[in-house]
Amino acid sequence: MMEALARWFADLHERTGINLVVFYDPFDAARFFRGVLLTVEMAALCIVASVLIGAVGAWLQGSRWRCVRALVNAYVELVRNTPSMIQLYFLFFGLGPYIAAHNAHGQAEPLISGFTWAVVCFSFYTGAFNTETFRAGIDAVPRQTEEAAESLGYTRLGAYLYVVLPLALRISFPALSNNLVNLIKMTSVAYAIAVPEILYVSNQIWSDALNVPEMMNVVLVSYVLLVSGFNALMARIERRLRVPGLGC
């Protein structure tokens, strides 16, 4: 079956010049598939980390201490006001070389890989947006609900974790989905520091096969599929989380 498909695509190239090399050349197919997997892995790690950062950030924004609030606001402003690619370049080329250890040949080798820097960068970038999104959700939870929780003996953290955050999460869910979709698309920026994700491997392939228009189509369709899949998942979660009477 796979072989027949590969032959069909090789034949398509012969007949029409449309060179979808990733579907018939085993070497290119393998590196493209690894690229897709790496994008998925990077996106999954960033989604989890950025949601956690957003939840913690939003909680700290409501802190009693002014310095904590100022610190969180400073983080949100700094990260939101600089492009993610500039941050990534800064981390990888500006900061990375200083966090290094000598390897077996006495060469100072950075301890943090490009992949890790990308995950850190995109998580904190989207984490800043999630902080604001959750903050808006928390603000929409009626103050009386929080008071009711406190009157039942919840601590501030307890009320936040078990009452406010679950409600805020539902309110901010559509905006959160948007942030996370942007995050998935942002992973392609890691191409600039040679993390072999979809765009990077595609660039390698079109440089060898010189099939730029074809690969651009393949990249576009790959992202459409990835993001559509993610949207379907989020819609499912949103339905599961629905509380009758909350919101619309």
Partner 1 sequence: MNVHALGRISALLLTAVGLQFATPAQADAIDDIQQRGKLVVGGKSNYKPFGVRNAAGEFEGFSVDLARKVAERLKVGLEIIPTEAANQIQFLEQGKIDVLIAAMNDTPERRKVVAIVEPGYYASAANVMLVKSAGIRDWKELKGRKICANQGAYFNRHVQQEYGAEVIAFKSPPEAYSALQNGNCIGFVYDDNALTQRLEEPQWANYELPLESILPQPVAIAVRHGEERFHALLTELSQEWYRAGYIRELEQKWFPGKRSGYVAELEKKYAAGSK
Determine contact, residues 29/22, Cβ cutoff 8 Å. Answer: yes
- C-beta closer to partner 1: residue 24 or 129: 24
Question: What string marks each residue from 15 to 54 as x (binds partner 1 by CB under 8 A) or -?
Answer: --xx--------x---------------------------
Pairwise CA distance, residues 121 & 133, whole Å:
19
Place of tokens 């989020």: 234
Which part of the chain contacts partner 1 (CB under 8 A), choosing from 3-11, 102-110, 161-169, 237-245?
102-110
In 10 A of CB 177, how many CB atoms? 18
- Is residue 114 within the footprint of partner 1 (CB under 8 A)? yes
67-96 residues near partner 1, rule: CB under 8 A:
93, 96
User: What sign results for the dihedral spanned by CA atoms 59, 170, 146, 148?
Assistant: negative
Candidate residues 5, 86, 108, 221; the one interacting with partner 1 per rule CB under 8 A: 108
Site string for partner 1, 173-212 (x = CB under 8 A): -------------------xxx-----x--xx--xxxx-x
Q: With CB under 8 A as the rule, give the number of residues binding partner 1.
A: 28
d(CA 205, CA 200): 9
When binding is defined by CB under 8 A, the residue of 78, 217, 221, 246 that contacts partner 1 is 217
CB 61 within 8 Å of CB 73: yes
Which residue type, as a one-letter code, is found at position 37? L
d(CA 31, CA 206): 12
Contact in structure between 115 and 133 (CB atoms under 8 Å): no
Q: Which is nearer to partner 1, 18 or 225 (CB)?
A: 18
Distance CA 219, CA 100 (A): 34
Among 2, 3, 66, 107, binds partner 1 (CB under 8 A): 107
Q: Which residues bind partner 1 (CB under 8 A)?
A: 17-18, 27, 93, 96-97, 100, 103, 105-110, 114, 192-194, 200, 203-204, 207-210, 212-213, 217
